[in-house]
């Protein structure tokens, strides 16, 4: 087990800039440099708020330095950037989430339910084909039932009748970064 470090000096090089992909949280300029600096880091994600990676079964979250935020936004906007360096300090260490077999089965059920929805097409096309359709298989029916149960649970209010609170719905981070018009307007040069 590697001793956890609280500080890393990261240098972004020309090679990192050339290999990076704009608006990609996993392949951006800073992620390339962090991967090179910390070779045992995995699942590196970078955005304007935080830099996250997994190391030795622990997830580390560093706040993105203010100057680095500007470089990330500039690179995503397509502006040329020069090599720079920064320091990662004071991480938040969080427990790594491990997916269980039950969770994986629920994800598969939801995927199959989305792939083969219950609702027939409403664009006027016929659902009848020239060849007869096979009967739906048992796994698809199970997937539909699991998906319907999950959708019904999501419609419940956050406040339960017994006074307890239901946890808010989970939101998954997208791989692509987007900033919205307001942030891009803030960063534009005014005349």
Residue pair 76/113 in contact (Cβ under 8 Å)? The answer is no
> What is the rounded distance in angstroms from the CA atom of residue 44 to the CA atom of residue 54?
7
pLDDT at 158 over 70: no
Which of these three, 98, 128, 163, is where a domain ends?
Answer: 98
Mean pLDDT confidence for 33-51: 92
**Count of domains for the chain:** 2
Same domain, yes or no: 93 and 31: yes
> What is the rounded distance in angstroms from the CA atom of residue 166 to the CA atom of residue 154?
10
DSSP tally for the chain: helices H, then strands E = 6, 6
Q: Tell me the pLDDT of the chain averaged across its residues.
A: 75
Higher pLDDT, 166 or 89: 89
Same domain, yes or no: 27 and 107: no
pLDDT at 170: 57
Residue 169 forms part of a structural domain = no
Percentage of the chain beyond pLDDT 70 is: 60
pLDDT at 52: 93
> What is the rounded distance in angstroms from the CA atom of residue 37 to the CA atom of residue 15?
13
Same domain, yes or no: 63 and 128: no
Reported as a single tens digit per residue, the pLDDT across 124-148 is: 555 444 445 555 556 667 767 776 7
Same domain, yes or no: 17 and 52: yes
Residue 165 forms part of a structural domain = no
Same domain, yes or no: 87 and 112: no
Structural domain including 43 reads 7-98
Same domain, yes or no: 43 and 109: no
pLDDT at 62: 94
Same domain, yes or no: 118 and 94: no
Same domain, yes or no: 92 and 21: yes
Same domain, yes or no: 94 and 108: no
Model pTM score? 0.56
The β-bridge relationship of strands 92-95 and 50-55 is unpaired
Mean pLDDT confidence for 30-44: 93
Tell me which DSSP letter residue 165 carries: B
> What is the rounded distance in angstroms from the CA atom of residue 115 to the CA atom of residue 1?
42
Residue 85 forms part of a structural domain = yes
Mean pLDDT confidence for 174-187: 57
For tokens 């004071």, what's the residue? 90
Residue 166 forms part of a structural domain = no
Residue 1 forms part of a structural domain = no
In 4-137, where does DSSP find H-type helix? 14-19, 29-37, 66-76, 101-115
Residue 148 forms part of a structural domain = yes
> What is the rounded distance in angstroms from the CA atom of residue 186 to the CA atom of residue 105?
44
């Amino acid at each position: 087990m590697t001793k956890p470090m609280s500080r890393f000096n990261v240098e972004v090089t020309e090679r990192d800039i050339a290999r990076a992909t704009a608006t990609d949280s996993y392949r951006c300029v800073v992620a390339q440099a962090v991967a090179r600096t910390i070779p045992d880091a995995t699942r590196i994600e970078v955005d304007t708020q935080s830099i996250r990676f997994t190391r030795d079964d622990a997830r580390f979250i560093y706040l993105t330095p203010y100057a680095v935020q500007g470089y990330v936004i500039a690179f995503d906007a397509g502006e040329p950037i020069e090599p720079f360096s920064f320091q990662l300090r004071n991480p938040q260490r969080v427990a790594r989430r491990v997916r269980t077999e039950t969770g994986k089965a629920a994800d598969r059920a939801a995927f199959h339910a989305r792939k083969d929805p219950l609702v027939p097409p409403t664009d006027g096309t016929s659902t009848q084909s020239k060849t007869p359709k096979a009967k739906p298989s048992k796994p698809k029916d199970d997937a539909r039932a699991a998906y319907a149960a999950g959708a019904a649970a999501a419609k419940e209010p956050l406040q339960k009748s017994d006074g307890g609170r239901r946890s808010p719905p989970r939101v998954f981070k997208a791989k692509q970064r987007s900033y919205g018009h307001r942030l891009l307007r803030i960063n534009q040069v005014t005349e």
